[in-house]
Structure 1
Amino acid sequence: MGRRVPAVSRALDILELFLEGDGTLSAPEITRRLQLPRTTVHELVTTLAARSYLVPVAEQPGRYRLGVRTYQLGSRYAEQLDLAAEGQQVARSVAETCGETVHVAVLEGTDVIYIAKVDSTHAVRMVSAAGRRLPAHCTAVGKMLLASLSAEELDARLPEGELPAMTPNSITDVATLRRALAEIAERGVATESQESNADVTCVAAPVRDRSGRVVAALSVSVPMIRWSEARQRELTELAREGAGRLSERLGHHRAG
């Protein structure tokens, strides 16, 4: 591996500062936050501005914001993204950590479609497979995705009658589902206990794109024989972390 170039690292440090706050900074603020020499910051900012990576803020003399070149690079990156491929990579990493089955799914109508799956290292049969479609309300990923919809979008998707069941534990009443979705939206994580498979429970977290919109969900599925409150806490955190990592790959910037 080649040597890192300090000047390039400093220039990137400057650009990354603009991801925080209101997106504008002055050279003195950059100097103070990065603890760099004033002349170094001035030269780097001048160079970045000359290449349209930074532009002066017209109404705030002395301050800069990100320029059009950063948008062009981000747009090209987004064009090359493949949610299924990115999801498979993250799912594999999560599965290697916990040894359980990991899914990534998207919402289509009132169903979820699994776009990535990595099997557990244990011998457990799952009802899902990449490309398979299941009723969203019976799965953790589906409930997470339904909970992320606006009230108008949810109204348009849910039927007026009874919901289909996959197991005796599946939610079939729309009012009950709505209450469950409201709780999921508040918690930011969904659970499913023996609702799509009588022997399995799942936890799921939302995956966001660069605009912050929920575009998928990542879940960890566990057979009931290995389920406990402690395991639930552990896997919930792992699902959140995995979904966050996939979101970052899609260009989402997590606050803090």
Structure 2
Amino acid sequence: MGRLVPAVTRALDILELFLDGDGTLSAPDIVRKLQLPRTTVHELVTTLAARSYIVTVPGEPGRYRLGVRPYQLGSRYAEQLDLAAEGQQVAREVAETCDETVHVAILEGTDVIYIAKVDSTHAVRMVSAAGRRLPAHCTSVGKMLLASLPGPELAARVPDSADLVAMTPNSITEPAALREALAGIRERGVAVESRESNPDVSCVAAPVRDRSGRVVAALSVSVPMIRWSAPREDELAQLAVKGAADLSERLGYRGAGR
């Protein structure tokens, strides 16, 4: 690895300061936060402003905010993101932590499509594959995604007259029961499926958000019933939430209120 260039490092440090607070800074703020000489900060701020990385706040000539250039770079980065590839990487990291099968799925109509999967190393594990399609209401990822839909959209996809197929005796088959389950999922922030798509498997899932905060996928951890328990469910729920948050961050999401 080559030597880091101090001036570039300091310029990037300044830009990253704008990620916190109200998104505006004065030169004295930068001096205080980074403990840099005033002359250095003045030169760096002048350079960043000249290249449209920062601009003065209207009506406040002594304060700066991010300019259009970071937005352009971020937009180009977002265009190059591949949800499946990013999901596969995060799924691998989660699977290495818990040694269980991890999926990432998206919603299409009333089905889910698995776009990434990493297997457990255990002899007893799920038999599934990326690209497989399942009824959303029978899976933890699907229920998580359905729970994230606006009310009118959910009603359009799953009307009162919907015929919900049963994959196992534990599958939800009544729209009213599904809506009740989805309400609980919204409140908890994670979805659990107990032998609803496979009589020998339970799963827990968490939502994945894009940079706008919209739920675009869900990440789940699937476990054969011989390794499932209430404490294990809680442990895996935390891992699913962390994995989904990591994937969301890769997609540009910075969290509510940030």
- Asked whether the two chains share a fold, i.e. TM above 0.5, the reply is yes
Q: TM-score, normalised by structure 2?
A: 0.94
Q: TM-score, normalised by structure 1?
A: 0.95
The CA deviation string for residues 82-119 of structure 1, in whole angstroms up to 9 with x for no partner, is: 11111111111111111100000000011000000111
CA contact (8 A) 2:91 2:102 kept: yes
CA distance, structure 1, for counterparts of residue 62 and residue 93 of structure 2 = 44
CA distance, structure 1, for counterparts of residue 19 and residue 188 of structure 2 = 26
Moved over 3 A (4+): none
What amino acid is aligned across from residue 217 of structure 1 in structure 2? A
Deviates more, 1:126-135 or 1:34-43: 34-43
Name the SS of the counterpart of 1:170 in structure 2. coil
**Where does residue 82 of structure 1 map in the other structure?**
82
Counterparts in 2 of 1:153-232, with a 5 A limit? 153-159=153-159, 160-232=161-233
CA contact (8 A) 1:114 1:128 kept: no
**Where does residue 236 of structure 1 map in the other structure?**
237
CA distance, structure 1, for counterparts of residue 206 and residue 36 of structure 2 = 39
Deviates more, 1:214-223 or 1:22-31: 22-31
What amino acid is aligned across from residue 206 of structure 1 in structure 2? P
Please state if 1:2 is matched with 2:29.
no
Please state if 1:14 is matched with 2:14.
yes
- Structure 1 residue 60 displacement after superposition: 2.4
- Structure 1 residue 64 displacement after superposition: 1.1
- The percentage of counterpart residues that share the same residue type is 81
What amino acid is aligned across from residue 236 of structure 1 in structure 2? A
What amino acid is aligned across from residue 192 of structure 2 in structure 1? T
Name the SS of the counterpart of 1:56 in structure 2. strand
**Where does residue 35 of structure 2 map in the other structure?**
35
Where structure 1 has 5 or more consecutive residues not aligned to the other structure, the ranges are none
Cα RMSD between the aligned structures? 1.4
**Where does residue 97 of structure 1 map in the other structure?**
97
CA distance, structure 2, for counterparts of residue 207 and residue 244 of structure 1 = 7
CA distance, structure 2, for counterparts of residue 60 and residue 216 of structure 1 = 41
CA contact (8 A) 2:54 2:65 kept: yes
Where structure 2 has 5 or more consecutive residues not aligned to the other structure, the ranges are none
Please state if 1:69 is matched with 2:69.
yes
- Structure 1 residue 57 displacement after superposition: 1.1
- Structure 1 residue 36 displacement after superposition: 2.5
- Structure 1 residue 125 displacement after superposition: 4.6
The CA deviation string for residues 15-67 of structure 1, in whole angstroms up to 9 with x for no partner, is: 11212232222222222222322222222111111111101111322111111
The CA deviation string for residues 115-156 of structure 1, in whole angstroms up to 9 with x for no partner, is: 001111112353531111101111110111111110011111
The CA deviation string for residues 169-227 of structure 1, in whole angstroms up to 9 with x for no partner, is: 11111111111111111221111111111111111111111111110010000111111
CA contact (8 A) 2:126 2:224 kept: no
